[in-house]
Amino acid sequence: MYSYSSHALPAFVVAAVALYLLFTGSGEAFNVGRFLEETSPYAWAGTGVGLCIGLSVLGAGWPPVTPRRGILVTGSSILGGGVRSPRITTKNLISIIFCEVVAIYGVIIGIVYTAKLQAVPETLLYTPENYFTGYALFWGGLTVGLCNLLCGVAVGITGSTAALADAADPNLFVKILVVEVFGSIMGLFGLIVGLLMVSSAADFSAAGPASAVVSPYVH
């Protein structure tokens, strides 16, 4: 029941608003193209950088969409298993390192992206090149953040299992660690894709007054 209502309610609200605008003669107010054009490229770029770092840190520590993942569940499992087998507390710290690397991926991409943010006067900001850079930084940051979020879930669960399995049988540690390594590679894939997405995006730059405004909605 909860899953049906959680999915149906947003769709119902969107449909109701769309029908209201349609039948009241205000359909032009629902203009996605206008929203994309009149929103500052700086807003897209800044949001992308924030999502990149924020989602990566959540994936490494504790993403709220999936309770108890990342360092939270791995560290608690190491401490709990260490009560029975103190020998696991040292070598299982590698699982904590794998979780922390997920956040480092996001910080690295965030630094690379912020290097493209240059001060440009508002009257000379709205150019096709700056639009492209803003959109590329937004979607690149979202891609990296989501990849690192899922990577943190995989590494956290696997690291917790590795600690508990090592406490029960030392021969299982290496086998589960291989699975954890492959799970951590997903974050590296996101980092590579994030770099490819902005490889063709130039830094924000000012243009001549003749080519500055490309949208009739920007004044």
Q: What pLDDT digit, counting tens, does each position of 62-88 carry?
A: 644 444 556 777 777 887 777 778 788
Q: Tell me the whole-structure pTM to 2 decimals.
A: 0.78
**pLDDT given at position 111:** 93
In contact, 138 and 131? CB cutoff 8 Å? no
In contact, 26 and 35? CB cutoff 8 Å? no
User: Could you give the dihedral angle defined by the CA atoms of residues 28, 33, 36 and 37, in that order, rounded to the nearest 10 degrees?
Assistant: -90
Residue 197: is its pLDDT beyond 70?
yes
Least reliable range by pLDDT among 37-51, 66-80, 107-121, 204-218:
204-218
Say which amino acid occupies 161: T
User: How far apart are the C-alpha atoms of 115 and 136, rounded to whole Å?
Assistant: 14
H helix intervals, 169-201: 173-197
